[in-house]
């Protein structure tokens, strides 16, 4: 199922996979007015890792988190309203 980037005030982000998570991270980073480099520095992550997350790359950590959430029946919805 392809995820579309919701407009900021239309609907929430539903995080079901790495691509959804990446879209949400990028949306909220941009909403905060931060570059990837700025967010990476603030969070202690390397900028290229942040870029791969935003691009929807499936990392071992993201894959394990999604597996845990699915097994626990946890559904993640992030509100994008300002």
For domain 13-74, say whether CATH 1.10.3470.10 is its number: no
Question: In the prediction, which pLDDT does 9 show?
Answer: 52
**More confident of the two residues 43 and 3:** 43
Q: Give the model confidence (pLDDT) of 19-49 as tens digits.
A: 999 999 999 999 999 999 999 999 999 999 9
Question: In the prediction, which pLDDT does 79 show?
Answer: 82
Domains of the chain by residue range: 13-74
Q: Is the pLDDT of residue 10 over 80?
A: no
Under a CB-based contact definition with an 8 Å cutoff, are residues 23 and 5 in contact? Answer: yes
Mean of the per-residue pLDDT values for the chain? 85
């Amino acid at each position: 199922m392809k995820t579309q980037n919701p407009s900021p005030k239309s609907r929430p982000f539903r995080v079901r996979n790495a691509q959804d998570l990446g879209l949400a991270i990028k949306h909220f980073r941009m909403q905060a007015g931060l570059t990837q480099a700025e967010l990476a520095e603030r969070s202690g992550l390397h900028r290229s890792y942040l870029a791969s997350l935003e691009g929807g790359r499936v990392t071992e950590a993201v894959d394990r988190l999604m597996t845990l959430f699915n097994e626990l029946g946890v559904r993640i919805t992030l509100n994008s309203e300002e």
